[in-house]
Structure 1
Amino acid sequence: MKIVGVAACTVGIAHTYIAQEKLENAGQKAGHEIHVETQGTIGTENELTETQIKEADIVILAADVKVAGRERFDGKRIIEVPTEIAVKSPNKLIKKAVEVIEEGK
């Protein structure tokens, strides 16, 4: 499964990057291809490409603030959670993403 996501917290520092790391590790551990963009105080990093978004089966938005460029994900299945969920329960979140895709088949 291919997953893309965006991590963004209110301050744009710690939780943003922790959420990114936890999601990427959990996704890879579960055998999925995952790319997570960060939107923080220093701007956007690891910006998702059009191809990554187009090929993604699902989008995870782990954000406590408005995600810039959200329209890029129009027409995609999206799971929205606070960054705290991505930080504390990344494996469950990846599992939920798989369930959402399986239900839609």
Structure 2
Amino acid sequence: MNIVGISACTVGIAHTYIAQKKIETAAKKAGDNVKIETQGTIGIENKLTDEEISQADIVILAADVKVTGEERFTGKKVVKVTTQTAIKSPNKLIEKLHELVKE
């Protein structure tokens, strides 16, 4: 499965990057392709390309604040969670994404 997404926390430092790592690790463990863009205090990093978005089966927004460029995901299945959810339960989160894609 191809997963893309964005992580962003209120301060834009620690939780943004921890959530990114946790999601990527859990997704790779499940055999998925994954790329998570971060939006933090130093701006956007690991920016998603139009091609990556078009090939995505599902989009995850692990964010505690409004993210920039959410309109890029129009027409895609989008799951919104807090960064805390992504950090504390990344494996369950990936399982849920698999269930949603199968629907």
Provide the C-alpha distance between the structure 2 equivalents of 1:78 and 1:93, rounded to a whole number of angstroms.
13
Query: Partners of 1:85 and 1:30 in 2: how far apart?
Result: 18
Residue 4 of structure 2 corresponds to residue 4 of structure 1: yes
How do 1:17-36 and structure 2 match up within 5 A?
Answer: 17-36=17-36
Per-residue deviation, 1:39: 0.1
Equivalent residue for 2:63?
63
1:47 maps to which residue? Answer: 47
| Partner amino acid, structure 1, of 2:45 | E
Structure 2: runs of 5 or more not aligned: none
Aligned Cα root-mean-square deviation (Å): 0.3
Provide the C-alpha distance between the structure 2 equivalents of 1:16 and 1:36, rounded to a whole number of angstroms: 10
Amino acid at match of 1:77: K
For structure 1, the 5+ residue unaligned runs are: none
Give the SS at the match of 1:65.
coil
- Tell me, in whole angstroms, the C-alpha distance in 2 between the residues paired with 1:50 and 1:91: 27
Q: Report the TM-score, using the length of structure 2 for normalisation.
A: 0.99
Q: CA deviation at 1:36?
A: 0.2
Which digits, 9 at most, give the CA deviation of each residue in 1:44-84, with x for residues without a partner? 00000100000000000000000100000001000000000
Instruction: Give, in whole Å, the separation in 1 of the partners of 2:27 and 2:48.
Output: 16
Equivalent position SS for 2:76:
coil
SS at match of 2:48: coil
SS in 2 for 1:19: helix
Kindly report structure 1 stretches of 4+ aligned residues shifted beyond 4 Å.
none
